């Protein structure tokens, strides 16, 4: 489904909810980046079909054979080089600049929220823009110039990994704590491009609702949240719906 299918009453209600003095927090998933040309990893023909995650995306696989694991991450980094933020990313940055959105919590690793202008971003699963050394925790920007040499090495001598949460690793405590705190104190919680079924991120909309927030959902089709958690449902592509929501908020 493309375009926006929401009704005007729902859009009005969503715009009003976003004006909450307690602020708005946004949770995003793969659906917001699909419009930038990034396929869902799990979709037919997605990267998991070429690189099975149990062989290339676990922390055990990294320690066992970092050069092999980096075949996946170099290819993914190469595929993301020319990907640009889409109107949905830009709309969320606009809402943040307007003082409406307090923060974006994203399950994506593509860093497109930062590239689109958002400042307060909790990258739940990390970012492909960066490398980290598991031994000394040194970080640096990812570059493709070392691709022919295999897994990048740290100054300490160890192998560096993408600064993302591999299967078998836990979400960093700081990200978990920050996301929970944001969900507890916001007045509106907007879910964009995700079914929010995978924990621990899945509990955030429910936590926000239990804390008194209005839950707004923007997805191309109903999800498990729609009938149980969502207060306002905006059906349609994020790239159409979110800019329309920005215009409605600006219009008063």
87-97 and 238-250 helices, crossing angle to 10° = 30
203-210 and 173-185 helices, crossing angle to 10° = 40
The third-level CATH classification (topology) of the domain covering 1-38+84-125+170-252 is Rossmann fold (3.40.50)
Tell me, what's the pLDDT at 60?
A: 96
Domain ranges of the chain: 1-38+84-125+170-252, 39-82+128-164
Tell me, what's the pLDDT at 202?
A: 87
Q: Tens of pLDDT along the chain (252 residues)?
A: 334 456 789 999 999 999 999 999 999 998 999 899 886 666 666 677 788 888 999 999 999 999 999 999 998 888 888 899 999 999 999 999 999 999 999 999 999 999 999 999 999 999 998 999 999 999 999 888 778 788 999 999 999 999 999 999 999 899 999 999 999 999 999 999 998 777 888 899 999 999 999 999 999 999 989 999 999 999 999 999 999 999 999 986
Tell me, what's the pLDDT at 145?
A: 79
Task: Indicate which residues carry an active-site annotation.
Answer: 125
The set of residues, in sequence order, having a beta carbon less than 8 Å from that of 31 and lying 6+ positions away, is: 40, 192, 193, 194, 219, 220, 238
Q: If you classify domain 39-82+128-164 with CATH, what class do you get?
A: alpha beta
């Amino acid at each position: 489904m493309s375009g926006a299918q929401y009704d005007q009453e729902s859009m009005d209600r969503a715009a009003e909810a976003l004006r909450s003095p307690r602020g708005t927090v946004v949770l995003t998933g793969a659906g917001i980046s699909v419009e930038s040309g990034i396929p869902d990893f799990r979709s037919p023909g997605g990267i998991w079909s070429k690189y099975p995650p149990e062989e290339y995306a676990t922390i055990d696989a990294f320690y066992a054979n970092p050069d092999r694991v980096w075949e996946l991450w170099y290819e993914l980094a190469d595929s993301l080089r020319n990907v640009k933020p889409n109107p949905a990313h830009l709309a969320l940055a606009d809402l943040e600049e307007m003082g409406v959105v307090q923060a974006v919590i994203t399950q994506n690793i593509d860093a497109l929220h930062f590239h689109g202008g958002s400042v307060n971003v909790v990258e739940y699963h990390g970012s492909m823009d960066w490398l980290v050394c598991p031994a000394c925790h040194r970080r640096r920007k990812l570059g493709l110039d070392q691709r022919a040499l295999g897994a990048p090495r740290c100054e300490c001598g160890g192998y560096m990994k993408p600064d993302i949460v591999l299967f078998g690793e836990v979400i960093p405590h700081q990200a978990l704590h920050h996301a929970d705190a944001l969900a507890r104190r916001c007045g509106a919680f907007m879910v964009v491009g995700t079914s929010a079924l995978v924990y621990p991120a899945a509990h955030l909309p429910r936590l926000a609702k239990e804390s008194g927030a209005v839950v707004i959902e923007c997805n191309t089709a109903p999800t498990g949240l729609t009938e149980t958690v969502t207060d306002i449902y905006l059906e349609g592509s994020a790239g159409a719906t979110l800019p329309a929501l920005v215009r409605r908020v600006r219009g008063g």
